[in-house]
Amino acid sequence: MSRPKVLVTRLLPEKPLDVLREQCAVDLYDKHDPMPRELLIDKVGKVDAVICLLTDGMDRGVIEKAYSVRAICDVSVGYNNVDIAAARERSIWVTNTPDVLTDATANLTWALILGITRRVAEGDRLIRRGGWTGFRFDFLLGSDLAGKRLGIIGMGRIGQAVARRALAFGMEIVYLPSSRKRRRGVSRFDDGLRATPLPFDELMRTSDIVALHCPLTPETHHLIDDRALSLMKETAYLINVARGPVVDEVALAKALRARRIAGAGLDVFENEPTVLADLLDLDNVVLLPHIGSATVETRTAMAQLAVDNCLAILNGKRPLTPVPELTDLPVYS
Ligand code: NAP
């Protein structure tokens, strides 16, 4: 019997790839850059499954060429790069990699929170350009966290992990319930977080730090726009470790330059890898190149989970972590 063919769109850690190669013929695009779209379209027509990254646009145009594909296994938890409706029409399973990256991403969120409130990157830059003239009592003063309010938008796995860490810093936690949860009347977490649900405007007005951990959807696109930023305190910080387009970057740069908010910590951007030029010369923003889940252990676990999902589907079993919209798809026999 011929082995199933799997397209892997990017160089992944060796161990998960070896596991995949034991059962499948692997067509690996062994580069660190995204596969060109024309090549992706050409290759998806010849395989049974695709293991891809968030930078691969698995849109309708690509999925319609995926004649024999049974599985699209994203190596990320956010799957806004995949057209889920188009996948459903062709009964293609789509899987993501939840949980295994929660701690790494929550830790990186805290690196940004501490980095911006204690001016870590600013101090580093100052020393490197020879600008440190000696200890001064009123120099590079930041903000404390104890007693302050952390407002979380996207109180899912990562949002809650960020909130758990906030308790150790003595912060009060508030969050925006998703519209689904608002509809279902779920209003409170009972896992010891003591988190209070708040409507959007009140959360924006009263939080000292607003942390974004929602998925990118039509509802969350530019959720943080000029109006939302204008609600924030002048002393407040915005942290985005979700997806770039959740924030209107032009509006954010304006608010930061005018000191209408105190600062921001960004791991994601609207047009990656391009970062809006207006952000680059601002000292009150910490910029990271989308490294939320970037640890050796986590990236290996993500790749392994994507491979496990792919093999499950190709072997006629349910995947371990299908995206919630497609859990009802039939198992291939
Ligand atoms: P998750 O467990 O699904 O959490 C997302 C939460 O956001 C859910 O509780 C969801 O509520 C809520 N939500 C959805 N729409 C909302 C809205 N309009 N307003 C308020 N809340 C809303 O996902 P996760 O594992 O925590 O990951 C969250 C996101 O982080 C991913 O989608 C991804 O884009 C991003 N991420 C980024 C990095 C990075 O490297 N920077 C790494 C990992 C993840 P419902 O469940 O009720 O819909």
22 CA distance to ligand 1 middle (Å): 34
Distance of CA 304 to the CA centre of its chain: 19
pLDDT in tens, the chain (333 residues): 789 999 999 999 999 999 999 999 999 999 889 999 999 999 999 999 999 999 999 999 999 999 999 999 999 999 999 999 999 999 999 999 999 999 999 999 999 999 999 999 999 999 999 999 999 999 999 999 999 999 999 999 999 999 999 999 999 999 999 887 666 665 566 678 899 999 999 999 999 999 999 999 999 999 999 999 999 999 999 999 999 999 999 999 999 999 999 999 999 999 999 999 999 999 999 999 999 999 999 999 999 999 999 999 999 999 999 999 999 998 977
Which one of the listed residues 14, 89, 219, 272 is annotated catalytic? 272
What's the N-to-C CA distance of the chain in angstroms? 15
Residue 310 to residue 19: CA distance in whole angstroms: 11
Supply the angle between the helices 157-168 and 102-117 in degrees, to the nearest 10: 50
242 CA distance to ligand 1 middle (Å): 7
> Could you confirm whether 290 is annotated as catalytic?
yes
> Could you confirm whether 259 is annotated as catalytic?
no
CB atoms within 10 A of CB 221: 15
pLDDT of amino acid 218: 97
pLDDT of amino acid 188: 65
| Cβ–ligand 1 contact at 215 (below 6 Å) | yes
Q: What is the 3-state secondary structure (H, E, C) of 294-314?
A: CCHHHHHHHHHHHHHHHHHHH
Q: What is the DSSP string of 248-302?
A: -HHHHHHHHHTTSSSEEEES--TBTTB--HHHHT-TTEEE--S-TT-SHHHHHHH
Q: If phi over 0 gives left and psi between -120 and 50 gives alpha, with beta otherwise, what is residue 170?
A: left
Taking CA atoms only, the protein residue closest to ligand 1 atom 33 is 78
| Cβ–ligand 1 contact at 179 (below 6 Å) | yes
pLDDT of amino acid 178: 86
> Could you confirm whether 22 is annotated as catalytic?
no
| Cβ–ligand 1 contact at 160 (below 6 Å) | no
Taking CA atoms only, the protein residue closest to ligand 1 atom 3 is 156
Residue 328 to residue 38: CA distance in whole angstroms: 31
Q: How is the beta sheet containing 71-74 ordered, strand by strand?
A: 25-28, 5-8, 49-52, 71-74, 93-95
100 CA distance to ligand 1 middle (Å): 14
Which one of the listed residues 70, 149, 243, 299 is annotated catalytic? 243
319 in Cβ contact with 309 (< 8 Å) = yes
pLDDT of amino acid 32: 87
Angle at 227 between CA 157 and CA 244, to 5 degrees: 40
pLDDT of amino acid 332: 74
Residue 209 to residue 158: CA distance in whole angstroms: 16
| Cβ–ligand 1 contact at 302 (below 6 Å) | no
| Cβ–ligand 1 contact at 214 (below 6 Å) | yes
16 SS3 class: helix
pLDDT of amino acid 5: 98
214 CA distance to ligand 1 middle (Å): 3
130 CA distance to ligand 1 middle (Å): 41
241 CA distance to ligand 1 middle (Å): 10
| Cβ–ligand 1 contact at 256 (below 6 Å) | no
Peptide bond into 177 cis (omega under 30): no
pLDDT of amino acid 180: 73
CB atoms within 10 A of CB 8: 29
Residue 150 to residue 167: CA distance in whole angstroms: 10
| Cβ–ligand 1 contact at 109 (below 6 Å) | no
pLDDT of amino acid 182: 63
Task: Name every residue whose Cβ is closer than 8 Å to that of residue 241 and which is 6 or more positions away in sequence.
Answer: 105, 108, 109, 112, 158, 211, 212, 213, 267, 268, 292
- Structural Rg of the chain based on CA atoms: 22
pLDDT of amino acid 187: 57
Q: What is the 3-state secondary structure (H, E, C) of 58-94?
A: ECHHHHCCCCCCCEEEECCCCCCCECHHHHHHCCCEE
pLDDT of amino acid 183: 65
